Amino acid sequence: MRIFLTGATGYIGSAVLDALLRGNHQVTALVRTPQAKDALLARGVAPVLGDLTTPKSYRACADGFDAYVHTAADVGVKREGVDAKAIDTLLSAAASHAARTGTGAFVYTSGVWVLGSNAQPMTESAQPNPGQLLGWRPVHEQLVLKAAGNGLRTSVIRPGIVYGGSRGIVSDLLKNALNGLIRVIGTGDNHWPLVYDRDLADLYVRAATRPEALGIYHANDEADETVNAVVEGIVNHLSAPPDVRHVPLEEARKKVGAYADALALDQIVRGPRARELGWSPTLHSVSANVPRLLEEFRSGQERAA
């Protein structure tokens, strides 16, 4: 299939790109720098140099794709508006293609944090309860979901906290552990939904390419690990065990604001709809895979150096 991808240089987007290329899809990717453009060209990807903040920089190149996969996330203060514009631009391209050909797909990246804390397992039918950090996200999910029809399939993927490679929150834990100190926000008895990057990418490919894919999909390994269990798994594998410091939530909020509340969420997440697409994660927890994750982390660091 011909696929238009945003965020191909990012943590999630690069895993999705790898999976799409493994599946022999033809990928066109929006990138922001000439270096990224060259790197993608070398991998057989058609790059579009542009920026989500300026839809006209890529709109003309976004016509005529079988699927649009949006994983990019601007981190500026205007990120909500930038994301709304990106959804609008990509959905209009996807809808035009579907109107012409009778088929098309748009896959949007949200996250499990929109669900808030809940002691009960939350499936894809759970009501969102986003905190301060992500109040806008469920509105964007709805923009995407409501655009389905006239041949266009739209999906929202809600990844858990991603692990694997050398980026993201779990890699930060590994890095801090190797540096001798891990900080845990709150008691650490809260559960994190987690997902391996390659497994997550496989769900994106299914959402983009399967004719039955439509609606919300939760992506996590369903190990229901507490933060303390993740940290203990890491600590137990290191010959020089790091110190572990639990930082009270109030103190963490002063340093990182509402992000501290997101890391302190207690979530049990289930993805029966993702399983119905035939999705089955290959890794089932962080704590049981620490040697592999350390190896991936180290080799990612070496490549980046």
Ligand X SMILES: NC(=O)c1ccc[n+]([C@@H]2O[C@H](COP(=O)([O-])OP(=O)(O)OC[C@H]3O[C@@H](n4cnc5c(N)ncnc54)[C@H](OP(=O)(O)O)[C@@H]3O)[C@@H](O)[C@H]2O)c1
Where along the sequence are the contacts to ligand X (CB under 6 A)? 6-7, 9-13, 30, 32-33, 51-53, 71-74, 82, 109, 111, 159, 161-162, 167-169
Contact 160, 195 (CB under 8 A): yes
Name the DSSP letter for residue 305: -
The distance of closest approach from Cβ of residue 79 to ligand X in the complex, given in angstroms and rounded to an integer, is: 8
Name the DSSP letter for residue 288: G
The distance of closest approach from Cβ of residue 127 to ligand X in the complex, given in angstroms and rounded to an integer, is: 19
Contact 91, 155 (CB under 8 A): no
Q: Which is nearer to ligand X, 53 or 123 (CB)?
A: 53
User: From CA 141, how far away is CA 218, in angstroms rounded?
Assistant: 13
Helix (H, G, I), strand (E, B) or coil at 254: helix
Query: Among residues 12, 108, 18, which one has the least CA distance to residue 68?
Result: 108
Q: Which is nearer to ligand X, 169 or 238 (CB)?
A: 169
Q: Which is nearer to ligand X, 88 or 251 (CB)?
A: 88
Q: Which is nearer to ligand X, 66 or 141 (CB)?
A: 141
The distance of closest approach from Cβ of residue 235 to ligand X in the complex, given in angstroms and rounded to an integer, is: 21
Query: Among residues 186, 183, 187, which one has the least CA distance to residue 249?
Result: 186
The distance of closest approach from Cβ of residue 103 to ligand X in the complex, given in angstroms and rounded to an integer, is: 26
Query: Among residues 141, 156, 139, which one has the least CA distance to residue 219?
Result: 156
The distance of closest approach from Cβ of residue 177 to ligand X in the complex, given in angstroms and rounded to an integer, is: 18
Tokens of 290: 């620490």
CA–chain centroid gap for 95, Å, is 24
* Integer Rg of the chain from CA: 19
The distance of closest approach from Cβ of residue 51 to ligand X in the complex, given in angstroms and rounded to an integer, is: 4
The distance of closest approach from Cβ of residue 77 to ligand X in the complex, given in angstroms and rounded to an integer, is: 12
The distance of closest approach from Cβ of residue 35 to ligand X in the complex, given in angstroms and rounded to an integer, is: 9
User: From CA 262, how far away is CA 274, in angstroms rounded?
Assistant: 23
Q: Which is nearer to ligand X, 73 or 274 (CB)?
A: 73
Q: Which is nearer to ligand X, 152 or 161 (CB)?
A: 161
Q: Which is nearer to ligand X, 87 or 290 (CB)?
A: 87
Name the DSSP letter for residue 172: H
Q: Which is nearer to ligand X, 184 or 263 (CB)?
A: 263
Helix axes 290-304, 168-178, angle to 10 degrees: 90
Residue type, 107: V
Name the DSSP letter for residue 84: H
Q: Which residue's beta carbon is nearest to the bound ligand X?
A: 10
CA–chain centroid gap for 93, Å, is 22
